[in-house]
């Protein structure tokens, strides 16, 4: 397999996407949320439900607090949603307040640190890796990341210290990142692990071909399953040009765009890759599912306890 050619193909797809590079390199996330949430960027919110189910199935087998690596973590949006009882509307909405507009980045980071610390946190540790030093610094200082790693693993190997951190990770997650990164990054990450390999939970835009990465993972002893019958909205297309180009590329790949990209929305698919033996007992279908409406808040209601008794509670 030609690693260079596969990533180059995905990069060609990436060229058709709007170029938001500057929003990922500011000292705080105001521009990131203003631009992306302005385009209804909802994938971290939709991914949260799946990541939580995967994390809970994995925690049951590891029997300890999980350490998660968020690949292409940017300003730590996945960490915010996984750790705290927050949704993206709430987090992005913070920066719509006029009072936030004139602040120095340092002040924004300070307010955010206090804000996130004011919520009860889930027992989960998050390592974030991104090429953007300012984004990783913000996410660490705001308390979203327990450990931040600034690295471009398309271009270089891990340092020994980075490899040690990576080797301690149980689960690798990503949203909106595959396409920017590909087989080279994964080959380098996987080389850091010893006997205990991670699970890898990836949301991938349909414009990107996951097959080359899946082949690499297969050779490394991972079994990959795609969540069937469901796609996840990433965001609205930015422009007619971006939409038209994506439709051409998707159709050239033989994908049916009806009801999805034809409606002006980018869609992603979910892939779970696990060390082959660990995937045998519990299929993806059994460990994670999507229930329409499950992301909404509901009032107190009946639920069933392990011994089949009903209780009225949260």
Residues that bind ligand SAM (CB under 6 A): 24, 43-44, 72-74, 77, 130-132, 135, 152-154, 175-177, 180-181
80 or 243: CB nearest ligand SAM: 80
Phi-psi region of 246 (alpha: psi -120 to 50; beta: other; left: phi over 0): alpha
Minimum distance from residue 153 beta carbon to ligand SAM (Å)? 6
Minimum distance from residue 50 beta carbon to ligand SAM (Å)? 13
Minimum distance from residue 71 beta carbon to ligand SAM (Å)? 7
Closest CA to 271 of 300, 314, 244, 231: 231
Q: Report how far residue 36's alpha carbon sits from residue 214's, in angstroms, rounded to the nearest whole number.
A: 28
Minimum distance from residue 14 beta carbon to ligand SAM (Å)? 9
Is residue 272 within 8 A of residue 51, CB to CB? The reply is no
Minimum distance from residue 287 beta carbon to ligand SAM (Å)? 22
Minimum distance from residue 33 beta carbon to ligand SAM (Å)? 9
21 or 280: CB nearest ligand SAM: 21
Cα R_g (the chain), whole angstroms: 19
CB atoms within 10 A of CB 244: 12
Find the distance separating the first CA and the last CA of the chain, reported in whole Å: 51
Minimum distance from residue 75 beta carbon to ligand SAM (Å)? 8
Q: Which residues contact 200 (CB under 8 A, 6 or more apart)?
A: 171, 172, 186, 217, 222, 271, 272, 273, 274
Q: What does each C-alpha distance from 132 to 24, 67, 136, 152, 284 come to in angstroms? A: 7, 21, 6, 9, 32
54 or 177: CB nearest ligand SAM: 177
Residue 43 phi, psi dihedral angles, 5° rounding: -60, -40
Residue 89 phi, psi dihedral angles, 5° rounding: -60, -45
152 or 220: CB nearest ligand SAM: 152
73 or 200: CB nearest ligand SAM: 73
Q: Which residues contact 26 (CB under 8 A, 6 or more apart)?
A: 32, 105, 134, 135
32 or 199: CB nearest ligand SAM: 32
24 or 232: CB nearest ligand SAM: 24
175 or 249: CB nearest ligand SAM: 175
Is residue 261 within 8 A of residue 246, CB to CB? The reply is yes
Q: Which residues contact 194 (CB under 8 A, 6 or more apart)?
A: 167
Minimum distance from residue 176 beta carbon to ligand SAM (Å)? 3
């Amino acid at each position: 397999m030609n690693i260079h050619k596969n990533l180059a193909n995905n990069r060609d797809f990436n060229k058709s996407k709007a170029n938001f590079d500057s929003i990922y390199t500011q000292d705080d996330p105001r521009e990131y949320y203003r631009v992306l949430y302005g385009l209804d960027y909802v994938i971290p919110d939709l991914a949260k439900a799946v990541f939580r189910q995967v994390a809970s199935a994995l925690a049951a087998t590891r029997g300890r607090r999980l350490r998660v690596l968020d690949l292409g973590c940017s300003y730590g949006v996945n960490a915010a949603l996984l750790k705290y009882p927050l949704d993206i509307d709430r987090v992005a909405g913070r920066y719509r307040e006029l009072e936030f507009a004139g602040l120095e980045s340092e002040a924004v980071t300070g307010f955010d640190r206090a804000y996130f610390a004011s919520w009860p946190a889930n027992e989960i540790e998050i390592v974030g890796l991104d090429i953007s030093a300012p984004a990783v610094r913000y996410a660490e200082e705001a308390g979203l990341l327990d450990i931040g790693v600034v690295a471009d693993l398309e271009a270089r190997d891990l340092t020994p210290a980075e490899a040690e951190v990576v080797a301690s990770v149980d689960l690798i997650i990503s949203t909106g990142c595959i396409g920017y990164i590909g087989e080279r990054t994964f080959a380098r990450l996987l080389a850091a692990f010893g006997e205990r390999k991670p699970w890898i939970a990836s949301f991938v835009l349909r414009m990107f071909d996951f097959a080359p990465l899946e082949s690499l993972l297969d050779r490394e002893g991972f079994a990959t399953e795609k969540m069937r019958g469901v796609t996840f909205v990433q965001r609205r297309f930015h422009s007619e040009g971006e939409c038209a180009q994506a439709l051409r590329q998707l159709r050239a790949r033989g994908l049916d765009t009806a009801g999805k990209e034809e409606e002006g929305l980018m869609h992603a698919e979910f892939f779970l890759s696990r060390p082959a033996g660990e995937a045998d007992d519990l299929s993806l279908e059994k460990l994670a599912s999507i229930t329409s409406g499950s992301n909404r808040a509901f009032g107190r209601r009946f639920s069933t306890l392990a011994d089949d008794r009903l209780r009225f509670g949260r």
